[in-house]
């Protein structure tokens, strides 16, 4: 069997996109990675309607990617902040990879609005695909993809 | 100025999603990374209508992410294959990061349909965010994001 004959139903890229692949969802998570937690802050910063934001936040909480944390401003009722869970933080390399491509190909010469550096040493960070044995950075030409244990025939 | 006050208009994540953030577009590129090149192969494997596939391929070619390469089967007219450009291949870490998260959180115990390994050494590959000076793997807690040269006030 080859990739073309294999079902994509359990492809991990596709399954991930089923959960977070919608553009507003990704932008909400991008803001959560950058420290945004409150409903009105997401809404204003991303430029989203309340109903779209509510539905996306609900989906992310039910997928255990965001968790609610109550807070209360003086004189107001208790409300929820939205914080990334461990599962949510594990999407961090996705955002760093999207950002790296965008910095190379999709923004102007003035540079990106956020500058992410290793705390302390101040060197820029980068995303690499590496070999888990030799810990060396790889290119697509360095890897071989074979059908794995989960490969199923396309119906 | 803080992130919440900065315009997201030139955010590299957002700009990348503007080009490739649509789900079918990402699935077409996932297949291209895995060696799919022909219109009918994309259509059947992903399960896409001809019109959606045509429009997405056209957009990816005009964005210089895919390039057309003519081929001709005996007795048929000349047609185009779609191959990733360098700019397209530079999206590889995005797909590896999406796949890594999906393997951890979104597929069953039977494992993924594709098993990607370092050619020769056979070790699994992984995506890491690393410090470009020390080449050590980083977690979100290891980095600091400050507003960069491209930060603009939100209108």
Q: Which residues of A touch B99 (CB under 8 A)?
A: 12-13, 16
Q: For chain A, say whether B140 makes contact (Cβ under 8 Å).
A: yes
Question: Is the CB of B27 less than 8 angstroms away from the CB of A8?
Answer: yes
Identify the band that residue A128 occupies on the pLDDT scale cut at 50, 70 and 90. very high
pLDDT at B84 over 90: yes
Q: Does B99 touch chain A (CB under 8 A)?
A: yes
Residue whose entry in the numeric block shows the structure tokens 């999709």? A106
| B38 in A contact zone (CB under 8 Å) | no
pTM above 0.80, yes or no: yes
Model confidence at A70, pLDDT cuts 50, 70, 90, reads very high
Instruction: Say if B19 is an interface residue toward chain A (CB within 8 Å).
Output: yes
Residue B64 has pLDDT above 90, yes or no: yes
Q: Is A27 on the interface with B (CB under 8 A)?
A: yes
Q: Name chain A contacts of B147, Cβ cutoff 8 Å.
A: 113-115
Tell me whether A129 touches chain B (CB under 8 Å): yes
Question: Which among A10, A14, A44 has the least Cβ separation from residue B27?
Answer: A14
Q: Do B105 and A92 touch (CB under 8 A)?
A: no
Q: CA-CA distance, A58 to A62, in Å (whole number)?
A: 6
Q: What's the pLDDT score for residue B146?
A: 86
Residue predicted with more confidence, A15 or A155? A15
Q: Which residues of A56-83 are buried (b: 16+ CB within 10 A; e: fewer)?
A: bbebbbebebbbeeeeeeeeeeeebebe
How many CA atoms does the CB half-sphere of A75 hold within 13 Å? Answer: 0
pLDDT of residue B139: 85
Contact B29, B91 (CB under 8 A): yes
Q: Do B22 and A111 form a contact (C-beta atoms < 8 A)?
A: no
Beta strands, E only, chain A = 66-71, 79-84, 114-118, 125-131, 143-147
* Longest distance between any two alpha carbons in chain A, whole Å: 64
Interface test with A, best of B25, B62, B93, B111 (most A CBs within 10 A): B93
Least confident of A30-44, B57-71, B91-105, B121-135: B121-135
Res. A105: pLDDT tops 90: yes
Question: For all residues of chain A together, what is the average pLDDT?
Answer: 93
Q: What is the pLDDT of residue B2?
A: 87
DSSP secondary structure code for residue A128 in this structure = E
pLDDT at residue number A149? 78
Mean pLDDT over B89-109 rounds to: 95
- Chain B nearest CA to A123, separation (Å): 6
Across residues A20-45, what is the average pLDDT?
A: 96
Contact check, Cβ <8 Å, B143/A93: no
Flag if A125 and B123 touch (Cβ within 8 Å).
no
ipTM strictly over 0.90?
A: yes
Distance from CA of A26 to the nearest CA of B (A): 9
Average pLDDT score over residue span A104-116? 91
| Residue B71 touches partner A, C-beta closer than 8 Å | no
B129:A126 CB<8 A? yes
Q: What does the pLDDT read at residue B80?
A: 96
Confidence class of residue A74 from pLDDT cuts 50, 70 and 90?
A: very high
Tokens of A145: 């993809």
CB A144 within 8 A of CB B117: yes
Residue B1 in contact with partner chain A when CB distance is under 8 A: no
pLDDT band at A152 (very low <50, low <70, confident <90, very high): confident
CB contact under 8 A, B22 and A23: yes
Partner B contacted by A1 (CB < 8 A): no
The mean predicted confidence, pLDDT, of chain B is: 93
Residue B155: predicted pLDDT: 73
Cα-based angle A130, A134, A135 (whole degrees, multiple of 5): 40
Mean pLDDT confidence for A128-147: 86
């Amino acid at each position: 069997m080859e990739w073309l004959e294999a079902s994509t139903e359990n492809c991990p890229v596709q399954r991930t996109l089923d959960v977070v692949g919608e553009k507003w969802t990704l932008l909400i998570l991008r803001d959560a990675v950058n420290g945004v937690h409150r409903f009105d802050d997401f809404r204003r910063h991303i430029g989203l309607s309340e109903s779209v934001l509510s539905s996306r936040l609900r989906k992310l909480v039910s997928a255990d990617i965001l968790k609610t944390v109550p807070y209360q401003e003086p004189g107001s009722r208790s409300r929820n902040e939205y914080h990334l869970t461990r599962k949510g933080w594990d999407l961090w390399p996705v955002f760093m990879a999207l950002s790296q491509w965008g910095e190379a190909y999709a923004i102007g010469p003035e540079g990106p609005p956020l500058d992410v550096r290793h705390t302390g040493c101040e060197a820029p960070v980068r995303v690499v695909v590496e070999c888990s044995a030799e810990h060396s950075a790889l290119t697509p030409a360095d890897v071989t993809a074979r059908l794995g244990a989960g490969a199923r025939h396309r119906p």
